[in-house]
């Protein structure tokens, strides 16, 4: 069996962190499986045309790009089973490609349940102002909606209910083999130094640790002991950092020192047996790198659900350790998991998401045209007459082109097309009105839309329609292959613009949903009101309409491989009133959401942004 | 690359210079070749530019603008710039944009132990040609941008500024487009003009030998043949 074990880059927790699945990989190889370990997504290939997002930012869009690149990389391996962490949503590219019928038709995907980005973002004090947590949240929600199983690595870990959709997702309790422990032999001798290990910030437990130290000091337990803070510290911040530490430190009557280190060499400081390391983690596996080094280590979970406050737990654990008692593990020794049986069980599970009856055969492609006959001819030539023996109807809505005999001109350029219908509008109407007219005129239940200066890649029509039919989606958008030279037949690719489909709360801020080059289930889409049409042209019709569709509960898929070549006209776009009106776009999108975003996530994001105004 | 091979000297540099000075010198000499970029200038209240580390194309650099009022504005240069990508520079995600409602200050790329000043874009304005103004009585047609792919300027009859000029563009003698000159140009606002007199045309691809703008307004017509060095 081919198995891909994927871990996210966990160096943010502590540099030197290794894959959580290394031990599992060794075990599964002993069973004869072909196992590949992936440490995050492969790096971008700079020689290739870049992968772009509507956000236009490399770092904030990182989770989206990582999930996409990983999906593309795994296509070649075509594994039977993928295990990937929930946090970061790395599996989304694989799951979306599978749901859209592009790849991975026999691949099962199980998520390793770790702390979702949402939870980390809500409770971190030094979160970035970028959108990456919101993008990760969208990827994680999608992954939960499409994965086949959720592996919960300990019984007390809470399920990510806040981002779990109503559809049931099978959960399996299982534990990783080969986790590093502390020293084999408990060290003897006194503890002369207590070392906080981790970033100097609230989310890493620093404040609770400091409070616990003060309590211990007041009872004389820190006499003849040094307190060390080992980890990277920020400065010039209005939060927990060097300045804060200095202000708090003036009250401490115990000796302390700060070692600014954030690398494996710095971590070796805790190797000395007389030093007791204390660390705070979201997921127990995050402490593995410290366990592998320290002789004495206390690992505390940041999650306090159902237990006493973290500061009390910290104090109790420290009193116990300083009193000479054995350091208790934060969780009891896990039972052994029969991974040989478990992977077989996973590969026999039914695929998710649930099946939705496909639409009736036949496809309608709708193109709104205005004064671009040569480009329209190229678009028409890219549409087949039939797909799988079923007819492909083409509706061209001419939006009052200047040419006096435009219909004849289009027919002349299109050649012999049995299912071509041309609807000429004497007076120009807004784009949304024209698109809704085309939708209403469509004979078939699967309706595709295309701009007149774009065109389909080979099998593009077929792949979009198949994704609607097989994926259980109401709308399917596609990655776009960009070209800049509108006139050329063979214009080279200048990039690939990728989308999420269901963008969740991240879609409030940029168009992560998709372009109008999409396929819809006609009746469902019409039922939700079709394209948003206020009666005049407005900015970002695609963004607004897809946001509205998401709010109406429609499921939106996204082809990972481009089905459409998209004409990008940078110079003209810079001079288009609708492109300039980004404020208007956001207002329309906000209204389209109708409150269907994660309010807590938004509020926290706004708080972080407001910091720049202090 | 070893110091000796790079600079062709045979003495030991480290033996005659303190280590810190040597390191500073080496860093200074290396700077222009590793960090590249520029400040393009302001647009719509923001200052734009890009910065790129040739040694590490996947690294996104941090840039700082020292505002004249004392504020330091910090941002990440990771915005996608199609023009930078098309110039063959990595994946194009090296742009930055800083709020700059008033005067902008110098912009630096932050490095671990240094700050590298970014130069102003030498090609701005990208015309490389002098602005041209054509007169006819109270009528003015001004062209201030003529670059591959686009031409822009403004046209106004100061006697009747409320009549927006209807312009036709001809390239190599062929009709290439028409547009009413209504784009906002703050630099021509005065007691007579409200500033909504700007125009912009996309120029066709290929070699251009002549460019003509015809004003075909109802009240009077005017032809401007632009001086043009192909």
Q: Which of A542, A448, A547 is nearest to A502 (CA)?
A: A547
What does the block give as tokens for B108? 């630096």
Q: Is residue B95 part of a domain?
A: yes
Residues of B in contact with A487 (CB under 8 A): 205
Q: Where are the beta strands (DSSP E) in B129-195?
A: 132-136, 139-147, 150-157, 166-171, 174-180, 183-184
pLDDT of residue A303: 76
**pLDDT, tens digit, 9 for 90 and up, residues B46-85:** 889 999 999 999 999 999 998 777 778 889 999 999 889 9
Write phi, then psi, for A358 (nearest 5 degrees). Answer: -70, 155
Q: Is residue B22 part of a domain?
A: no
**pLDDT, tens digit, 9 for 90 and up, residues A274-295:** 999 999 988 888 888 888 888 8
What does the block give as tokens for A132? 């990456």
Same domain, B161 and B187: yes
Q: Is residue B126 part of a domain?
A: no
Cα distance between residue A176 and residue A114, in whole Å: 13
Cβ-defined contact of B205 to A494 (cutoff 8 Å)? no
Answer CATH for A2-179 from 3.40.50.1100, 3.40.50.10280, 3.40.50.12500, 3.40.50.2000: 3.40.50.2000
Q: Which of A50, A494, A571 sits opposite B202 (nearest CB)?
A: A571
- Domain edge (last residue) among B117, B143, B158: B117
pLDDT of residue B110: 87
B227 has a pLDDT exceeding 70: no
Cβ-defined contact of B85 to A568 (cutoff 8 Å)? no
Q: For chains A and B, what is the number of CB pairs under 8 angstroms? A: 50
Residues of B in contact with A57 (CB under 8 A): 76, 78-80, 93
Same domain, B43 and B104: yes
- Domain edge (last residue) among B64, B93, B117: B117
Cβ-defined contact of A46 to B91 (cutoff 8 Å)? yes
Contact A37, A21 (CB under 8 A): yes
Cβ-defined contact of A60 to B78 (cutoff 8 Å)? yes
Cβ-defined contact of A50 to B85 (cutoff 8 Å)? yes
**pLDDT, tens digit, 9 for 90 and up, residues A474-525:** 999 999 999 987 666 678 899 999 999 999 999 999 999 999 999 999 999 9
Same domain, B97 and B136: no
B187-202 mean pLDDT: 87
Contact A474, A554 (CB under 8 A): yes
- Nearest C-alpha of chain B: how many angstroms from A468? 31
A181 has a pLDDT exceeding 60: no
Domain with CATH 3.40.50.2000 in chain A: 2-179
Cβ-defined contact of A50 to B92 (cutoff 8 Å)? yes
Cα distance between residue A585 and residue A433, in whole Å: 18
Greatest distance between any 2 Cα atoms in chain B = 82
Q: Is residue B124 part of a domain?
A: no
Cβ-defined contact of A44 to B150 (cutoff 8 Å)? no
Q: Which of A521, A511, A509, A581 is nearest to A552 (CA)?
A: A521
Residues of B in contact with A572 (CB under 8 A): 202
pLDDT of residue A560: 98
More confident residue, A451 or A178: A451
Domain with CATH 3.90.550.10 in chain A: 363-599
> What is the total count of domains within chain B?
2
More confident residue, A75 or B69: A75
ipTM value, please give it: 0.72
Nearest chain B residue to A488 by CA distance is B205
Q: Is residue B4 part of a domain?
A: no
Contact A119, A35 (CB under 8 A): no
A142-168 mean pLDDT: 81
- β partners of residue B223: B214
Residues of B in contact with A485 (CB under 8 A): 205
pLDDT of residue B15: 36
pLDDT of residue B42: 81
- According to CATH, the superfamily of the domain at A363-599 is Spore Coat Polysaccharide Biosynthesis Protein SpsA; Chain A (3.90.550.10)
CATH architecture of A193-322: 3-Layer(aba) Sandwich (3.40)
Q: At what angle do helices A132-146 and A62-77 cross, to 10 degrees?
A: 40
pLDDT of residue A492: 87
Residues of B in contact with A60 (CB under 8 A): 78
Cβ-defined contact of B91 to A58 (cutoff 8 Å)? yes
Q: What is the 3-state secondary structure (H, E, C) of A163-187?
A: HCCCCCCCEEECCCCCCCCCCCCCC
**CATH code: domain of residue B176:** 2.60.40
Contact A214, A314 (CB under 8 A): no
Residues of A in contact with B79 (CB under 8 A): 56-57
DSSP 8-state code for residue B140:
E
Same domain, B60 and B137: no
B102 has a pLDDT exceeding 80: no
**pLDDT, tens digit, 9 for 90 and up, residues B107-161:** 999 887 788 999 987 655 444 457 888 888 888 999 988 877 788 899 998 888 8
Q: What is the DSSP string of A21-49?
A: THHHHHHHHHTT-EEEEEESSPPP-TTSP
Q: Where are the beta strands (DSSP E) in A23-133?
A: 34-39, 51-52, 81-85, 108-112
- Domain edge (last residue) among B67, B82, B117: B117
DSSP 8-state code for residue A504:
G
pLDDT of residue B209: 85
Q: Which of A52, A494, A571 sits opposite B149 (nearest CB)?
A: A571
Q: Which of B60, B83, B150 sits opposite A59 (nearest CB)?
A: B60
Contact A262, A232 (CB under 8 A): yes
Q: Of A14-18, A92-96, B50-54, give the lowest mean pLDDT range.
A: A14-18
Cβ-defined contact of B80 to A56 (cutoff 8 Å)? yes
Those residues of chain B whose CB sits closer than 8 Å to some CB in chain A are 57-58, 60, 76, 78-80, 82-83, 85-86, 90-93, 149-150, 183, 200, 202, 205
pLDDT of residue B7: 32
Q: How far lies B112's CA from each of A593, B26, B109, in Å? A: 43, 15, 10
Cα distance between residue A138 and residue A422, in whole Å: 40
Cα distance between residue A195 and residue A161, in whole Å: 35
Contact A499, A559 (CB under 8 A): no
Q: Which of B54, B98, B60 is nearest to B77 (CA)?
A: B60
Those residues of chain A whose CB sits closer than 8 Å to some CB in chain B are 43-44, 46, 50-52, 56-60, 484-485, 487, 494-495, 568, 570-572, 575
More confident residue, A578 or A118: A118
Pick among A40, A56, A488, A612 to test the B interface (most B CBs inside 10 A): A56
More confident residue, A527 or B182: A527
Pick among B80, B86, B169 to test the A interface (most A CBs inside 10 A): B80
Pick among B51, B93, B175 to test the A interface (most A CBs inside 10 A): B93
DSSP 8-state code for residue A337:
P
Across the beta sheet with B35-43, what order do the strands follow?
B35-43, B46-53, B93-99, B79-80
Q: Which of B78, B79, B202 sits opposite A572 (nearest CB)?
A: B202
Q: At what angle do helices A310-322 and A206-218 cross, to 10 degrees?
A: 50
- The chain-wide mean pLDDT, for chain A, equals 90
Same domain, B146 and B204: yes
What does the block give as tokens for A336? 């052994």
Residues of A in contact with B83 (CB under 8 A): 570
Domain holding B145, by residue range, is 132-225
pLDDT of residue A161: 77
Residue A538 pLDDT class (50, 70, 90 cuts): very high
């Amino acid at each position: 069996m081919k198995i891909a074990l994927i871990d996210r880059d966990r160096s943010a927790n502590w540099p030197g962190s290794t894959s959580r699945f290394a031990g599992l990989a060794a075990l599964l190889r002993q069973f004869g499986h072909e196992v590949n370990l992936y440490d995050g997504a492969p790096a971008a290939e700079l020689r290739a045309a870049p992968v772009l997002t509507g956000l236009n930012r490399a770092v904030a869009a990182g989770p989206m790009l990582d999930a996409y690149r990983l999906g593309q990389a795994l296509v070649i391996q075509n594994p039977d089973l993928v295990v990937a962490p929930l946090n970061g949503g790395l599996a989304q590219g694989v799951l979306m490609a599978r749901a859209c019928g592009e790849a991975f038709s026999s691949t099962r995907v199980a998520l390793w349940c770790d702390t979702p980005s949402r939870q980390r973002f809500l409770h971190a004090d030094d979160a970035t102002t970028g959108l990456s947590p919101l993008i990760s949240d969208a990827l994680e929600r999608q992954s939960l909606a499409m994965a086949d199983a959720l592996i919960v690595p300990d019984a007390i870990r809470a399920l990510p209910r806040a981002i779990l959709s109503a559809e049931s997702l099978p959960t399996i309790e299982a534990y990783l083999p080969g986790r590093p422990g502390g020293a084999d032999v408990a060290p003897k001798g006194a503890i002369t130094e207590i070392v906080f290990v981790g970033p100097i910030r609230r989310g890493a437990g620093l404040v609770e640790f400091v409070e616990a130290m003060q309590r211990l000091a007041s009872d004389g337990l820190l006499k003849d002991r040094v307190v060390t803070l080992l980890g990277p510290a920020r400065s010039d911040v209005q939060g927990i950092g060097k300045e804060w530490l200095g202000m708090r430190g003036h009250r401490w009557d115990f000796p302390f020192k700060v070692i600014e280190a954030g690398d494996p060499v710095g971590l070796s400081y805790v190797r000395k047996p007389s030093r007791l390391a204390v660390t705070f983690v979201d997921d127990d596996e995050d402490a593995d790198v410290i366990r592998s080094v320290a002789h004495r280590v206390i690992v505390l979970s940041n999650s306090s659900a159902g237990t006493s406050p973290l500061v009390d737990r910290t104090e109790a654990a420290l009193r116990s350790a300083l009193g000479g008692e054995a350091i208790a593990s934060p969780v009891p020794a896990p039972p052994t998991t029969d991974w040989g049986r478990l992977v077989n069980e996973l590969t026999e599970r039914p695929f998710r998401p649930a099946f939705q009856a496909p639409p009736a055969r036949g496809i309608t492609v709708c193109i709104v045209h205005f004064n671009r006959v040569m480009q329209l001819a190229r678009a028409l030539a890219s549409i087949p007459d039939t797909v799988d023996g079923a007819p492909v109807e083409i509706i061209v809505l001419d939006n009052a082109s200047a040419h006096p005999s435009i219909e004849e001109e289009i027919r002349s350029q299109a050649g012999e097309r049995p299912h071509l219908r041309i609807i000429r509008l004497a007076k120009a109407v807004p784009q949304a009105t024209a698109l809704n007219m085309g939708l209403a005129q469509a004979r078939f239940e699967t309706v595709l839309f295309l701009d007149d200066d774009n065109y389909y890649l080979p099998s593009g029509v077929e792949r979009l329609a198949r994704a609607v039919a097989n994926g259980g989606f109401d709308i399917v958008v596609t990655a776009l292959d960009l070209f800049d030279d509108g006139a050329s037949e063979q214009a080279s690719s200048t990039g690939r613009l990728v989308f999420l489909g269901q963008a969740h709360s991240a879609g409030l801020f940029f168009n992560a949903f998709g372009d109008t080059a999409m396929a819809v289930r006609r009746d469902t889409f019409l039922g939700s009101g079709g394209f948003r049409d206020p009666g005049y042209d407005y900015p970002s019709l695609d963004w607004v309409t897809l946001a509205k569709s998401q709010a109406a509960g429609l499921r939106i898929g996204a082809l990972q491989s481009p089905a459409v070549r998209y004409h990008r006209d940078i110079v003209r776009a810079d001079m288009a009133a609708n492109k300039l009106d980004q404020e208007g776009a956001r207002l329309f999108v906000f209204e389209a959401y109708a409150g269907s975003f994660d309010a807590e996530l938004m509020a926290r994001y706004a708080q972080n942004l407001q910091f720049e105004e202090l | 690359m070893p110091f000796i091979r790079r600079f062709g000297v045979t003495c030991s540099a480290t033996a005659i210079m303190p280590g810190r000075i040597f390191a500073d010198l080496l860093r200074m000499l290396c700077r222009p070749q590793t960090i590249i970029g520029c400040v393009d200038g302001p647009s719509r209240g923001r200052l734009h530019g890009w910065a790129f580390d040739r040694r590490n194309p996947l690294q996104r650099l941090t840039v700082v603008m020292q505002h004249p009022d004392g504020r330091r504005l910090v941002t990440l240069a990771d915005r996608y710039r199609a023009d930078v990508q098309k110039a063959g520079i990595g994946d194009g995600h090296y742009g930055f944009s800083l709020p700059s409602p008033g005067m902008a200050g110098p912009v630096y790329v932050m490095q671990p132990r240094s700050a590298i000043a970014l130069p102003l874009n030498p090609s701005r304005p990208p015309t490389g040609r002098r602005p041209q103004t054509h007169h006819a009585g109270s009528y003015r047609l001004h062209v201030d941008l003529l670059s591959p792919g686009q031409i822009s300027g403004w046209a106004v009859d100061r006697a009747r500024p409320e009549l927006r000029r209807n312009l036709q563009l001809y390239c190599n003698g062929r009709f290439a487009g028409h547009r009413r000159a209504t784009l906002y140009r703050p630099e021509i606002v005065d007691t007579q003009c409200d500033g909504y007199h700007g125009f912009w045309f996309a120029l066709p691809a290929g070699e251009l030998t002549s460019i003509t703008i015809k004003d075909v307004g109802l009240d009077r017509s005017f032809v401007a043949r632009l001086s043009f060095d192909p």
